[in-house]
Amino acid sequence: MTHKPVILVTRKLPKAVEARLVRDYAPILNPDDKLYSAEELIDLSSTADAILPCHTEKMTAALIEKLPANIKAIANFSVGVDHCDLEAAKSKGIIVTNTPDVLSDATAEIAMLLMLGAARRASEGERMVRASQWHDWSPGFMVGRQVTGKRFGVIGMGRVGQVSAKRARCFDMDIHYYNRSRLRNELEAGATYHETVESLLPHCDVLSIHCPATPETTGLLNAARIALLPEGAIVVNTARGGVVNDEALIEALKSGKVWAAGLDVFNGEPEDIHPEYRTLDNVFLLPHIGSATQDTRDAMGYRALDNLDAIFAGKEPGDRVA
């Protein structure tokens, strides 16, 4: 009987994905969706051939160093790999993959929701209706900002950034972007390229952040850069919380320099986000649900399994990052 590779699955995955795992592998599943400690991950890895983690598992250098030699791969159920120390994995000979492409549409939808929710004061209005505090209408009641025809600035014009820009064009928005390298004409689609973040920011009525979290992008949106935004700009973040300096953004929200923000990701999420975000009416908050559609979560799982299929067939996985 052919030995099926043992896959440690760190979180409860969609039914269709787990069914494929059971069919093709010998998975160690997590039916209770428990968040494992580093010690538990190391212990559970003792009989596994690969790990299929999510961004909730911190695959630090210290943890990877302690993984047993039988671990051949870490197939992440995520696009971002900031939770996984790639250099540590490389030095230990562990292949690392991610799941690009499949969540671009879903995350771009959330970027549009955040933009509109922040611009039109959606969370304020929703709370008002729920609390039976809506008693009247007047010309000055719940007045927000219109985004149609405004300038939509993107930091990080990768897959998600490009789809978000495409969606913003449906609001007749003028697209500006910063990326590490300029896109080809057909991908740029008439957008205006800026060689630096600093040159981009004055052209952003809405700033949408889509760059990966790296040491270079940590705290990228700081007080000095926020000062370059137009007065009353809107900030949207569906990338990673670490890209934003919380204190700087909160101060700008209080002063009105930034009129509103729509945030799906946070430093210290889920429990240790900056407490002042919860007190500000001009922040539209979501709990990191950028990829949270059934279609997308299934596709992410299939993509991770495609990578594992290639690895255990002795082939190069399509989404190798280390």
**Quick one: 184 and 84 in the same domain?**
no
Residue 317 domain-assigned (yes or no): no
**Catalytic position from the list 20, 151, 159, 240:** 240
**Quick one: 155 and 56 in the same domain?**
no
Give the whole-angstrom CA distance, residue 208 versus residue 197: 12
| 274 included as an active-site residue | no
CATH number of the CATH domain containing 35: 3.40.50.720
**Catalytic position from the list 225, 288, 297, 303:** 288
**Catalytic position from the list 109, 124, 251, 269:** 269
| 55 included as an active-site residue | no
Q: How do residues 85-96 score in pLDDT, each as one tens digit?
A: 999 999 999 999
Q: Where are the alpha helices (DSSP H) in 170-245?
A: 185-188, 197-200, 223-226
Per-residue pLDDT of the chain (322 residues; tens, 9 = 90+): 468 999 999 999 999 999 999 999 999 999 999 999 999 999 999 999 999 999 999 999 999 999 999 999 999 999 999 999 999 999 999 999 999 999 999 999 999 999 999 999 999 999 999 999 999 999 999 999 999 999 999 999 999 999 999 999 999 999 999 999 999 999 999 999 999 999 999 999 999 999 999 999 999 999 999 999 999 999 999 999 999 999 999 999 999 999 999 999 999 999 999 999 999 999 999 999 999 999 999 999 999 999 999 999 999 999 999 9
Chain Cα centroid distance, residue 131 = 32
**Quick one: 146 and 274 in the same domain?**
yes
Q: How do residues 164-178 score in pLDDT, each as one tens digit?
A: 999 999 999 999 999
**Quick one: 126 and 239 in the same domain?**
yes
| 240 included as an active-site residue | yes
**Quick one: 302 and 193 in the same domain?**
no
**Quick one: 60 and 164 in the same domain?**
no
* Contacts with 76 (C-beta within 8 Å, 6 or more apart), sequence order: 52, 53, 54, 55, 83, 84, 96, 97, 98, 99, 304
Residue 138 domain-assigned (yes or no): yes
> Count of CB atoms within 10 A of residue 292's CB?
15
Residue 318 domain-assigned (yes or no): no
Extended beta strands in 26-91, E state: 26-28, 50-52, 73-75
**Quick one: 109 and 86 in the same domain?**
no
**Quick one: 230 and 279 in the same domain?**
yes
**Quick one: 145 and 273 in the same domain?**
yes
Range of the domain at 38: 6-102+294-312
**Quick one: 123 and 243 in the same domain?**
yes
